[in-house]
Amino acid sequence: MALPWLLLLELLLYGSCFICGIITAASVTISQGSFDGKCMLYGSVYLNNTSASSISVQASSSPSLCYFVSAISVCVAVFCFSLSLYWVYIVCFDGEVKREKLWMNVTLVLSGVFLFFLLVTGCILKIGRDRLCDSVLNTLTNIKKCEEAQDKSWSSPISGSQFYSRLHCAEIAVWVNFFFWMIIAGLVLLQRNKGSETQSGGEEPSVTPSETEPLFNRPGRP
């Protein structure tokens, strides 16, 4: 059975959100690993003159901050993947595509929750990366852009060759994910209202034919 086009568009957005969530989680995790497990969001650096003028970590955030960003992205990705599998199963094995109003309300609530946490995650990545870049630019006065520090020498075991690119990629993926979830919430709300209008336009299933007959056309009682 073919899916309604609104639901099909919603499933495509779920797939896109799944990819964005994986990109964010992977980028943050790899970035944390390249800094020897340190979370560099809101972190600071200094120039280590004793090690061939290489860049070293002066302060870092709690690792739980990066874990929080990754966990939110993974939760969103898992939900999108599970929901996509559910609808694929319904189409392939059940054949009857029917969305109940209750589950659409649940999806709307979850959309609001995901939008809130994605907004928080995006702000963490944006402000945290800017704080780190401010420290880098104040430390290395011979560069004008934060990404130029990726080509500089970093103290072992730290590898800052792609630190800016990874955090920037994670931030973009979060904001794209946030935008897609806004569209998903709108599509679910549209389908919910459309279903309500269709149901209200039809006859009440609980009303018997005798109740719908005109009052004056009923046959006389003996």
Q: Kindly report, residue by residue over 112-156, the tens digit of the pLDDT.
A: 999 999 999 999 999 999 999 999 999 888 888 998 888 888 888
The answer to whether residue 135 is domain-embedded is no
pLDDT at 95: 61
Phi and psi at 158, nearest 5°, equal -80, 140
The answer to whether residue 218 is domain-embedded is no
Tell me the whole-structure pTM to 2 decimals: 0.81
The answer to whether residue 61 is domain-embedded is no
Distance of CA 133 to the CA centre of its chain: 25
Q: Rounded distance, CA 109 to CA 106, Å?
A: 5
Q: Rounded distance, CA 23 to CA 16, Å?
A: 11
pLDDT at 195: 65
pLDDT at 54: 85
* Count of structural domains within the chain: 1
The answer to whether residue 169 is domain-embedded is yes
pLDDT at 72: 96
In the block, residue with structure tokens 């302060």: 59
Q: Which residues of the chain have pLDDT under 50?
A: 1, 198-216, 218, 221-222
The answer to whether residue 148 is domain-embedded is no
Which residue in 172, 184, 164 sits closest to 114, CA to CA?
Answer: 184
The answer to whether residue 22 is domain-embedded is yes
**What is the span of the domain harbouring residue 26?**
5-40+68-127+158-193
Q: Which tokens belong to 148?
A: 């130029």
Q: Rounded distance, CA 63 to CA 38, Å?
A: 6
pLDDT at 3: 61
The answer to whether residue 56 is domain-embedded is no
Q: Rounded distance, CA 4 to CA 106, Å?
A: 20
Q: How many residues does the chain have?
A: 222
The answer to whether residue 119 is domain-embedded is yes
